A and B are shown apart, each in its own frame.
Chain A
């Protein structure tokens, strides 16, 4: 057996700086949401739903010149159609920003398989699926539950706690760092990586490149440590994995790890936080779930529908006249699962949160070939986090509604959530 020397050299060395295209950074108040939308502005972060509802009734596909040009469909039907149409819409970039990677980065993309297009996508995704089945993630439930209890033990004596900072964020961080085999004490660094990747979209390009560089420096450090001492975790699994009869490219190993780390954390953190926020401001729902814990799996799906954290992006492959929109090659399309989930054409009483909603064909985890690979893990974490919270802290409310803050960008959830628990 030959020594695995793929990671001795930094795989980024000698690589040419990818060409791609940069666009002008445009920030500041939105003049008209139909022609100038931006999901990075505070108004959107604070409450995007009235904006989406208005656009759905008015447009229904909004446009912006920001980010070098992009579109925002708001009807379920349109969001679904784009998610299914990999012929006209590419995943080679999935975070709408002021940088478009070069076309030849497809079909792999920087963070496979989320950034991959068919046919490569299928094979890269297949490598991950067995580790993320419901049966497989169930093995982590006991540890997740114990960890949630330990976080609540830490509230001892406090009257007000920050449920986003002191509870929600830690749960997915701990679970994914265990799965990847990263030191649990590196949590604060993960938070930085997440904020850089998803919220730092309008930072100067040099800053974004430096930020991503830090993430990949960290990952390379972890990979080298695992090459030296392999163990039973996803990092070693990816180092050993083979595709088409050979081990993965170093950039594929690191890219997939980056994806699992970033996408594994802030999404679930957001879902847990948004659910607790809803329950804190809706005593009737909170009391009912405390009294009927068996309803939680159903209620949780409704929280996922109404407060779906994740929006994805695509790039238009070639100029196309699409359902009334003149889309140009390389325009962005924001695939808003949150907007789709509140379309009254798809859901009865779409704007209401109905915790015993029986028919709930929501799209919080996406639709089509890119269905969130971690959806079973996310559901387990969300259920356990809410079960433990409601068991231990059955009475709580918003300590100061105006102090609640929400992350802007494509993953939206509470980042500050002061709750009165005493």
Chain B
């Protein structure tokens, strides 16, 4: 599982890095960034889903890898 942020939708609310700081961080203007390559480590699935479902702009995409 991987997380991605759609930069065209992200407005810097920061819910992702507030709620799931292991997966997301902020850039110098407060926009969300995925940590590293966005691969969700084992046990991080819940944190990923919490971030997705709390983003007001629906800017976070969960990519389920086959």
Contact = CB atoms under 8 A, between A and B. Distances in A.
B28 A130 contact: yes
Contacts of A132: 30
B11 interface: yes
**Most chain A beta-carbon neighbours within 10 Å: one of B11, B18, B58:** B11
**Most chain A beta-carbon neighbours within 10 Å: one of B26, B29, B54, B56:** B56
Interface of A: 126, 129-130, 132-135, 297, 358-363, 365, 367-369, 371, 375-376, 379
B11 A358 contact: no
Contacts of A363: 56
B53 A371 contact: no
A135 B26 contact: yes
B26 A133 contact: yes
| Main DSSP-derived SS at the A contact region | helix
Nearest to A367: B56
A359 B55 CA distance: 9
B28 A361 contact: no
A130 B29 contact: yes
Nearest 10 pairs between A and B by C-beta? Answer: A129-B29, A371-B11, A133-B30, A359-B53, A361-B56, A134-B14, A129-B30, A130-B28, A133-B26, A134-B26
Contacts of A133: 26, 28-30
B17 A361 contact: no
A369 B11 contact: yes
Nearest to B9: A368
Given A129-B12, A358-B50, A371-B12, A376 B56 contact: no
Contact of A126 (B11, B18, B26, B29): B29
Contacts of B45: none
Given A361-B56, A367-B57, 15 more contacts: A129-B28, A130-B29, A133-B28, A133-B30, A134-B14, A134-B26, A134-B30, A358-B50, A359-B50, A359-B54, A360-B54, A363-B56, A365-B13, A368-B57, A375-B13
* Size range of the chain B interface in the assembly: 10 to 19
Contacts of B14: 134, 375-376
Nearest to B58: A361
**Most chain B beta-carbon neighbours within 10 Å: one of A133, A368, A369:** A133
15 contacts: A129-B30, A134-B17, A134-B18, A134-B26, A135-B26, A297-B18, A359-B53, A360-B54, A361-B53, A361-B58, A365-B56, A367-B56, A368-B11, A376-B14, A376-B30
A133 B14 CA distance: 9
Interface in B1-31: 11-14, 17-18, 26, 28-30
A65 to B, nearest CB: 33
B57 to A, nearest CB: 7
B16 to A, nearest CB: 11
Given A359-B54, A361-B53, A371 B13 contact: yes
Contacts of A365: 13, 56
Given A369-B11, A371-B12, A371-B13, A361 B30 contact: no
A361 B50 CA distance: 10
A365 B55 CA distance: 12
